[in-house]
Structure 1
């Protein structure tokens, strides 16, 4: 099973983790191919385990928060085919925009490229 985070993505996440006061674009999308859970990750703490992003466990209440990489690895190992990275995902908006859209839809949704479609507030 390939690692959940490749070295280049890990470096981007660590760089974002050093600037916590910013509204970063997500750089990693993880998902359960056999279930509804999805994570949009934008930061990794220096501890190498604590991730920050938008977490959607598929219960209709996506939320911004922290998740343990080690715990995601355990979840992945317990699944028939494991969690997967969406290699085509490119974060085009700050995580706050994804969070607003996800709360409105009750799940993480794909966003178009027009920022005016996603007003702040």
Structure 2
């Protein structure tokens, strides 16, 4: 499996260009994350929104498992070079759902102490919004009949 297939590289580059355009205009830019990378045997997790001009440096939220996720830049080359026990490497979350803009991820990850905890909370909120209201209970209707 490719850590970053072409479609994700394209999206990261597009966000990088858009970010630089907004910065040149003095405007803010709050993109949704494009990719989530993680250590399959540890706590390190990264979500990235864009590539810098060098094509290696990613911008996003980094969580090394110390309870203080940070916004900043990290090297894709360094992430690719990490060798873990049992021949494992850093992986891409194939089922990653961006769930919201980077500012929301940052706020939630700092509030809950990790990207993973923030993701759980954000998924729960999303599923709560997608659930329809339950139908009225027939028992509840009978209670009001005599009024």
| TM-score exceeds 0.5 | yes
Show CA shifts across 1:16-47 (max 9, x none).
Answer: 00122410100100000100000011101231
Q: How does 1:27-106 map to 2 (within 5 A)?
A: 27-75=34-82, 78-79=83-84, 80-106=87-113
* Higher-RCO chain (CA-CA 8 Å, sequence separation at least 6): 1
Once the two structures are TM-superposed, the CA of residue 104 in structure 1 deviates from its matched residue by 0.6
CA distance in 1: counterparts of 2:11 and 2:5, whole angstroms: 10
State the alpha-carbon separation in 2 of the partners of residues 91 and 107 from structure 1: 15
Correspondence for 1:119: none
Q: Which runs of 5+ in 1 are unaligned?
A: 117-121
Residue 25 of structure 1 pairs with residue 24 of structure 2: no
Aligned residue pairs total 112
TM-score (norm 1): 0.87
Determine which structure has more spread, i.e. the larger CA radius of gyration.
2
Structure 2 residues without counterparts, runs of 5 or longer: 20-27, 130-147
Partner of 1:6: 5
Runs (4 or more) in structure 1 with deviation over 3 Å come to none
